[in-house]
Amino acid sequence: MRQIQQLIQVLNTVLTQVLKVKEQGQDSDIVAYTNEMFEKKLGFDLDELSDILEKDNNISHLKKEKGFTNEHLSILADILYELGEDGFELPEKHTRSVELLTQSLTLYEFIELDDRIYSIDRNLRITKIKDYLN
């Protein structure tokens, strides 16, 4: 139980920092910060997460091996969404943004099917990501 709470705390800390940097319009590399925090606290970075998600949408690996719950996956999807949305309009960041938004969509859609609770916010994010990607 303590490990689950620590995981939520780490994910919320990263999400809070991402939102803070976006709000302040700082020109820092929030992706590098996220990678550093993920590697330090979770044992994988965004590239490794991408590999996990690309292998048959292997979200079950995150749930079984890393102990993620749907709540963790939702926060992770929020982080990826915020990172992807941030650089979407910039030519030098567009490709990475598309990757991050696609990963976020994968997680949101998995949760949508797996979770018994309907979320309007999650559904709106799914719609918004699909609009970005089309």
Q: Which residue has the higher pLDDT, 52 or 4?
A: 52
What's the whole-number mean pLDDT along residues 107-124? 93
Torsion of the alpha carbons at 77, 27, 44 and 105, rounded to the nearest 10: 20
Number of domain units in the chain: 1
Domain residues for the domain of 90 are 2-133
Residue 134 CA to residue 130 CA, distance in Å, equals 6
Structural element, H or E, at residue 41: helix 30-42
What's the whole-number mean pLDDT along residues 69-76? 93
Residue 74 CA to residue 107 CA, distance in Å, equals 7
Residue 134 CA to residue 132 CA, distance in Å, equals 6
pLDDT of residue 5: 76
Residue 133 CA to residue 101 CA, distance in Å, equals 8
- pLDDT class for 125, splitting at 50, 70, 90? very high
pLDDT tens for 20-31 read 887 877 656 788
